[in-house]
Chains A and B, each alone.
Chain A
């Protein structure tokens, strides 16, 4: 298995633009998580899905952030409009129900200028 695949690896965009981050979880995993990592706040859970259904989105910072999981093999995290304070590394992770840890993607480094 290729692991959790995220794209793009790096994204530089101007303030006000729409940004879409993509994630392909490991086949067979029924949980998908979006995290944001910054120096100031560490690793923050933004939202997670179970069987493509959003379970907890309480970590989504504001309405500018939205996430979807149209099928078991694909999820997106969208920021519209983007702001400089959204600059961070965004990680996607997937997991199976049960006694398992998470498998993380390599992350998308987002810079909003």
Chain B
């Protein structure tokens, strides 16, 4: 069975500084990895995904994530944080088996960007 861990409940950064939101995963076989963002009173919105290929994946709003197979990690990064990036971020994983559509979400990390 697959699982995902987000070790930090909260991340605080100053506007303009780089940000990292951490994620590690466990899955049998090759993983499909995702990041979602949730703004207040909204559903989860897709940010980016890793399926195969280049380990550095670029997504919406200037976010990127790096797949590291040896460390089983998929950390979310942005070079320069904005106050508007403040939200709840979820990492998710599912196995690459054709009939496996059971996605597991992490507990979420609340990102606060201060002016």
Output the nearest chain B residue to A4 by Cβ-Cβ distance.
Answer: B43
A-B contact count (CB 8 A): 50
Distance of B38 from chain A, by nearest CB (Å) = 9
Q: Is the CB of B101 within 8 A of A91?
A: no
Q: Which of A42, A97, A105 contacts B101 (CB 8 A)?
A: A97
Q: Which of B102, B103, B108 contacts A42 (CB 8 A)?
A: B108
Q: Is the CB of B34 within 8 A of A101?
A: yes
- State A94–B51 Cα separation when bound (angstroms): 19
- State A97–B106 Cα separation when bound (angstroms): 22
Residues of A within 8 A of B36 (CB): 101, 104
Residues of B within 8 A of A85 (CB): none
Mark out the residues of chain A between 78 and 113 whose CB falls within 8 Å of any chain B CB in the assembled complex.
Answer: 91, 93, 95, 97, 99, 101-107, 109
Tell whether B63 is near chain A: CB-to-CB under 8 Å: no
Q: Is the CB of A48 within 8 A of B46?
A: no
Chain B interface size, as a band, is 20 to 34
Q: Is the CB of A104 within 8 A of B44?
A: yes
- State A105–B92 Cα separation when bound (angstroms): 17
Residues of B within 8 A of A106 (CB): 41-43
Tell whether A56 is near chain B: CB-to-CB under 8 Å: yes
Tell whether B89 is near chain A: CB-to-CB under 8 Å: no
Tell whether A34 is near chain B: CB-to-CB under 8 Å: no
Mark out the residues of chain A between 6 and 47 whose CB falls within 8 Å of any chain B CB in the assembled complex.
Answer: 31, 33, 42-43, 45
Tell whether B74 is near chain A: CB-to-CB under 8 Å: no
Distance of A23 from chain B, by nearest CB (Å) = 11
Q: Is the CB of A43 within 8 A of B101?
A: no
Output the nearest chain B residue to A42 by Cβ-Cβ distance.
Answer: B107
Distance of B94 from chain A, by nearest CB (Å) = 9
Distance of B65 from chain A, by nearest CB (Å) = 13
Tell whether B22 is near chain A: CB-to-CB under 8 Å: no
Q: Is the CB of A48 within 8 A of B101?
A: yes
- Among all A-B residue pairs, the 6 with the closest Cβ atoms: A104-B43, A104-B44, A42-B107, A43-B105, A99-B51, A106-B43
